[in-house]
A and B are shown apart, each in its own frame.
Chain A
Amino acid sequence: MNYEVVIGLEVHVELHTQSKLFCACPNRFVPEPNVNTCPVCLGFPGALPRLNSEAVNLALSASLALNCKVASISYFDRKNYFYPDMPKGYQISQFFEPIGSNGFIDIEDDSGNPKRIRVGRVHMEEDAGKLVHSLAGDMSMVDYNRAGVPLIEIVTEPDLRSSGEARKYLEKLKSHLEYVRVSDCKMEEGSLRCDANISLRPKGSDKLGSKTELKNMNSFKAVEKSLEHEIKRQKKILDAGNLVVTQTLRWDDNSQQTVAMRGKLQAHDYRCFTDPELAPIVLTEEEIEKARVSLPEMAEARACRFVEEYGLPDYDAGVLTASRNVADYFEECLKVYNSPKAAGNWIMGELTAKLNSSGQEIEQCPFRPEHLAELLKMIDENVISGKIAKDVLEKSFESGKSPGQVVSDEGLLQISDQSELETIVDTILENNSDSVENYRSGKTKAIGFLVGQVMKETKGKANPQLVNELLKDKLKK
């Protein structure tokens, strides 16, 4: 039978704040357990929560970036359940009235047509701690460093129809959240976590089939793969005339399959009610509007502008705007250098390669946009050759020195002095009479070899254009 796949995603994103949601403990990863804790985030009797306004601002920006309607008044509720990683025996979350609702993200479906994915809600909540099990398996310990870290949960309507769409949605979501500087959205590091609800139904039916929930996927690739795997599994069950059992499955990266989660199957009654220890979040029309106008230009708009304003090819514009930091770097460079295409090429090529190999982020690397501009100007003005420029970038990146400094320190100035080059060219012609003969007998390719020899002699510093001209001139004689 032909089935339609129905997928909904629940994404948890860690908000990039200085401190935790309800206390002053730092929101930062540390390897030592229970260092970033205090009576509030450990749930001590008598310690009271205090809302972090930075977290509210980020949640507000995220809601607006996802085109949500922002609630002028929203509440914090207690979601009650026992687990050792949950210090108070309840999680503070927004159950009844989320800060954001009825938003959307536009993606392309598998055939490249535009498609709108509805975002049902964006709500704030606190993270739990982490259970650590001893190697011998005889002990469980709890690390509360993460307890109370601010999260937003972003829930889609069941609008996704394939694993590919799910992946595209996640990529778009990540880009949006990075652009508003809400989170670094690193799935591998847990700052973005994704659960998926998936069911199949006969094509044309509008009744939802019984669904399974997928957890423990630690990359976008894993989300896509586990969904594909689950689609096949459910199809097989349905084809055999059986019913899919509603359950929670865990993606196992090693065996590349979904495994049923152990533990009792129980329907939770979280007994939610509004937390009497916290005041509601009240946002005035002006505050919401102020946040809306201060939203940055998002990736799509920026890419369009790059094409129009800088004449970049669509592809380049797409790559350069995928991350806000890269796009900012690019435009920063263009403030003092006016060849967008060259700047883009160097960022996408040499700089990206260098960043990847050194494991650094563009916003932190010592090679600043003004350095790139300086480097590109030196090429344009024939101060150094393109080849040398690559070495200069490398050295500048390593040392933090400006490219000009590197060139003068290392004596890499391009030789553009005609008489100096003529002497060298003459010597090369004398020593390579075979090639000279070849050239003169019509094998014009031989000039390449001669240029190479000159470059070798000058350690790459000779102005290649001038060398070419000189050679051609002398070979004619």
Chain B
Amino acid sequence: MNLNEMTVVKTAEAVNNQEISARYLIERTLEQIKNNVKLNAFACTAGAEAFEQADAVDQKIKSGYSLPLAGIPLAVGDNIAYKELPTAYGSAAFRKFKPPFSAAAVEKLIGAGAVVVGKINTGDMGFSSHKALSPAGPVMNPWKENRISESPGSAALAARQCMLALESDSEGSLRQGASSCGMYGFRPTPGRVSRYGLNLSSGSYDQVGFAASTATDMGITFQATSGYDERDILTSVSREAGPKPDPNKAPGEITLAFSPECFDQLDSISAKHLKQFQAKCLDLGFKVVESSLKLLPEALKAFYIIAYAEASSSFARFDGIRFGTAAEADELEDLYYKTRKLTFGHEARRRSVFGTYILSKGNFEQYYQQALKVWTLVRQDFNNAMANCDFLVMPVVSGAAPSGIEENDFLQRIESDIFTAPVSMACLPSLALPAWQEDGLPAGIQLVGHPFSDEILLNVAEMINTETIFPDTDKSAWEEG
């Protein structure tokens, strides 16, 4: 059996049928991580506890159980709590920190049979590697030398160092990374999946999401993790499941909208590909219409004002008094300065400083309150745009995977969020799916749905059915199987 390009669905089936063992899958995965350490996707990898988990899964199956994610090697973002492994938040001060609890989504995935193979190397405080560096440096893109991945989980997935990744998405790093690695990246409707255990920088925008290699895999992952969790009040909207997809619905009954303003924001090559994708949708039989999104540039600015403000406050808890590494200091104020310097990288510091400025007397009205008003308008803008369609089809980024991070062009990096951050603001579910390749690098589009249409969205993604391609690697631990 060649497991090289196996999906979650097929692999779990093989484990449930006892054709392969969960233990074997974990062994192969850990070897595959070792085979390509220069990818730098993992902050730490699992040891004995992963094998214990795998054996427990095998045992359960032997005693007659069937698990939807049986033995699936799972990578977990380093800003998401997992009590068995250090959760470092991309910070030097938390290298050995084990949180006293695991995130709700981690618990659910493990409960469904998945096995955590390691914590993925998110940037400073969990921000995108595109904007922020962890002490371990950037996560590389397995498709091309000197290119990075905004989502370490997608990089690990494309390099077959896991079959599923649990990550956070705020301004869109998960979707962007999935796009630049040729994978699927899903940001569910806020409240569908519990955020308990995710280190929130922005309570307004941060969500947990997943990277997987097919839409079907995403579907079962979402099913295994969504639902009400009393520890996250936002999930009270999920007491009832979202509307179920109608399996008999033909593409002709589904309307996809493309926005002319998105084309305007794209470089010519990406615009050309998006046009071709639009034609493909017509070929597949979907109804295709135009919908205007008027406020993307304004949304982006407002997004960052609010995200910075919230980060400056959320990060105040990192004071070295209850957790993490505290710096040596004689005075309280000195303790704060030194500990926070040790804890935060450039991006977290930038957000703390800008956010503090934004919330300060005088600036609060001018920036923060204005941004809140823009937020309301952005939601209206999306509402209007979606009034005549079932889904919006939007670019993820203009161009292909970015090259390595340079500290001084952060404004430019913010601009690359123009398609993803506004969608986060509008509180809509969004799936990045592979759409084309250019110059050896993949790129995706986002399928944006109405609130709570998550299941239908994943179902439509299956109908679009783009093929997932993995990059070639020198050596694969999977082929030996």
Contacts and interface: CB of A to CB of B under 8 A. Distances in A.
B313 A90 contact: yes
Given A45-B81, A47-B196, A90-B316, A279 B204 contact: no
B263 interface: no
A43 B202 CA distance: 15
A42 interface: yes
B100 A273 contact: no
B364 A50 contact: no
Given A46-B200, A48-B231, A279-B233, A88 B316 contact: yes
Interface residues of A, number: 29
Contacts of B204: 276
B230 A273 contact: no
Interface in A273-296: 273, 275-279
Given A39-B101, A45-B89, A46-B99, A276 B202 contact: yes
B81 A46 contact: yes
A276 B230 CA distance: 17
Interface in B304-321: 309-310, 312-313, 315-319, 321
A278 B200 CA distance: 13
A51 B359 CA distance: 25
Contact of A45 (B199, B202, B332): B199
Contact of B322 (A82, A87, A271, A278): A87
B19 interface: no
Given A82-B319, A276-B310, A279-B233, A46 B196 contact: yes
Interface of B: 79-81, 89, 99-101, 103, 195-200, 202-204, 230-233, 309-310, 312-313, 315-319, 321-323, 332, 336, 356, 359-361, 364, 368
Contacts of A277: 200, 203
A260 B58 CA distance: 69
Contacts of A80: 312-313, 316, 359
A84 interface: yes
A44 interface: yes
Closest 3 CB pairs of A and B: A89-B316, A276-B203, A271-B359
B317 A46 contact: no
B313 A78 contact: yes
Contacts of B99: 39, 44-46
B203 A45 contact: no
A145 to B, nearest CB: 14
Given A46-B103, A46-B196, A82-B319, A273 B359 contact: yes
A206 interface: no
Nearest to B197: A46
A82 B316 contact: yes
A272 to B, nearest CB: 8
A89 B313 contact: yes
Given A89-B318, A276-B202, 11 more contacts: A44-B100, A45-B81, A46-B81, A47-B197, A47-B231, A48-B232, A80-B313, A84-B321, A89-B317, A90-B313, A271-B313
A84 B233 contact: no
A420 interface: no
A88 B360 CA distance: 19
Contacts of A312: none
Contacts of A50: 230-231, 233
A142 interface: yes
A82 B202 contact: no
A417 interface: no
A271 B360 contact: yes
B233 A51 contact: yes
Contacts of A51: 233
B378 to A, nearest CB: 16
26 contacts: A39-B100, A39-B101, A43-B317, A44-B323, A45-B81, A45-B199, A45-B200, A45-B318, A46-B103, A48-B195, A48-B232, A51-B233, A82-B316, A82-B336, A89-B317, A89-B318, A269-B360, A271-B313, A271-B364, A272-B359, A273-B310, A273-B313, A276-B203, A276-B204, A276-B310, A277-B203
A80 B356 CA distance: 10
A84 B359 contact: no
A90 B315 CA distance: 10
A89 to B, nearest CB: 2
A3 to B, nearest CB: 33
From A45, A88, A273, A278, residue with most partner B Cβ within 10 Å:
A45
Nearest to A43: B317
Interface in A236-280: 269, 271-273, 275-279
Contacts of B79: 45
B317 A45 contact: yes
Contacts of B199: 45-46
B309 A273 contact: yes
Given A47-B196, A78-B313, A89-B317, A42 B322 contact: yes
Interface string A57-100: 00000000000000000000010101010011110000000000
Nearest to B204: A276
B60 to A, nearest CB: 28
Given A89-B319, A276-B203, A48 B310 contact: no
B361 A46 contact: no
Nearest to A81: B316
A39 B322 CA distance: 10
B317 A87 contact: yes
Contact of B319 (A84, A269, A279): A84
B89 A48 contact: no
A66 B231 CA distance: 33
Contact of A273 (B195, B322, B368): B368
A39 B323 CA distance: 11
Contacts of B81: 45-46
Nearest to A23: B231
A39 to B, nearest CB: 6
A449 B210 CA distance: 98
Contacts of A279: 233
A136 B106 CA distance: 46
A43 B336 CA distance: 16
B415 to A, nearest CB: 24
Contacts of A87: 317, 322
A445 B310 CA distance: 88
Contacts of A78: 313
A338 B417 CA distance: 79
From B81, B200, B322, residue with most partner A Cβ within 10 Å:
B322
Contacts of B196: 46-48
Contacts of A276: 202-204, 310
